[in-house]
Amino acid sequence: MALPDTDVTQEASGTPGRFTRSTRRTLALVVYAALFALYWWQIGLPTDPIIAVLCLWLATIAWNIDRPWRHHLQFARDWLPIVGLLIVYDFSRGVADDLSAPHVTEMITADRWLFGGELPTLWLQEHFYDPDQVRWWDVAASWIYFSHFVASFTVAVVLWLRNRGLWAAFMRRWFALTAAGLATYFLYPAAPPWWASQYGYIPEHVERMSSRGWSAIGLDSAGKLLNVGQQLSNPVAAMPSLHSGFALCVVAFFFTRVSRKWLPLLIAYPLSMSIVLAYTGEHYIVDAFVGWAYVGLIYLAVNRAEKWWRRRREQQVTAAAVATTTTAAAPGAVPASVAAADGPGEPGPGEPGPTAARPVDTVSAKTVPTKVDTAAPAATVAVDAAR
């Protein structure tokens, strides 16, 4: 039995609650933040997508602490397909590297062609990487790289809380992009720069250092899960770069929904993500370009599909309205509401008249004989006699 969706502010005794709604929300968010910080300090950043979704679900519970549990369980129901895709993504991504030899030289050739014979990863590490000292840009690079694991889901959770229609539209694009990237990892396994350097395809050494910046701010443990995840993940899933793809997917959704003054800030996020990926040895620049191309194609395809669906629904509604109007305007057709209001008409030639209705005893549901009024004929005889 469904329970009423009520905001309980009183205790069972009927006395007013101690805290207001805003106070309870603040306390719940403080407890959540403390537990999340403890998890981060002891275990590491939640780079596993499923753990990230679980953390965000707990955040929505803290934000809507006064809502009943059926409201919170609706989050699990809405996000179940996304979690299912993430599980498939994690398991299958680790299988792709065993199916065929990875592509390596094509990306190296493409990056050298794009940048006049220079490999961007080698150039960036030569000019900015110091093996003996962690710079501020190393810390920024670690934060930007980590944002890949939470940015899309954070935006999705905010949309889920504020506008379910926008959430569905965003998740359709995210879901399609993830599925397309996963399919490409099977069809075209590609190795990143650090892998190519490790196996001699790039003679120079390429340092893999996406989590290097945490040590500079005393958070060495923050990158624990990230390092473990990198060791367990598919090492030849570089094409396309979904790090760059998701970064653009997030900001592209708001290109037509925010003021133009915010566009440079939005564009800066996918650009900085691509530079960080090349600097840390995780991707080539051409990987990022292909990831952006995937976003453009996905948005184009989903936009057209949504327009087709809206036209189809509009055509169905219009056809239903026309059918109703045609039926009502047919010769001799009487609307049911009018016929019911007017009651039965006069009988035609040769047609029997309506039978006399008998009152129904609504208690026993049995037909009872009609009571004949004998007073009226007696009154008539009395008048005639007086005349």
Tens of pLDDT, residues 225-264:
555 455 545 677 889 999 999 999 999 999 988 888 999 9
**Contact present, 333 and 323 (Cβ < 8 Å):** no
Question: What are the structure tokens assigned to 132, written together?
Answer: 């003996």
Distance CA 240, CA 282 (A): 12
pLDDT of residue 38: 82
Reduce the DSSP state of residue 237 to 3 states and report it: strand
pLDDT of residue 253: 94
Residue 16: pLDDT over 80: no
- pLDDT (tens digit per residue) in 312-359: 888 888 888 888 887 766 665 555 555 544 555 555 444 455 444 444
Distance CA 226, CA 350 (A): 92
The pTM for the full model equals: 0.72
Q: Taking Cα atoms as reference points, which of 193, 179, 204 lies closest to residue 278?
A: 193
pLDDT of residue 194: 93
Domain boundaries, the chain: 98-316
Residue 1: pLDDT over 70: no
Question: What are the structure tokens assigned to 75, written together?
Answer: 């989050």
pLDDT of residue 362: 43
Mean pLDDT computed over every residue of the chain: 78
pLDDT of residue 168: 92
Distance CA 315, CA 373 (A): 61
- pLDDT (tens digit per residue) in 71-127: 888 888 888 888 888 777 766 655 665 667 889 999 999 999 999 999 999 999 999
Q: Which residues contact 225 (CB under 8 A, 6 or more apart)?
A: 43, 44, 45, 46, 47, 48
Residue 178: pLDDT over 50: yes
Residue 197: pLDDT over 70: yes
pLDDT of residue 45: 67
Higher-pLDDT residue of 67 and 367 is 67
Q: Taking Cα atoms as reference points, which of 138, 182, 183, 173 lies closest to residue 152?
A: 173
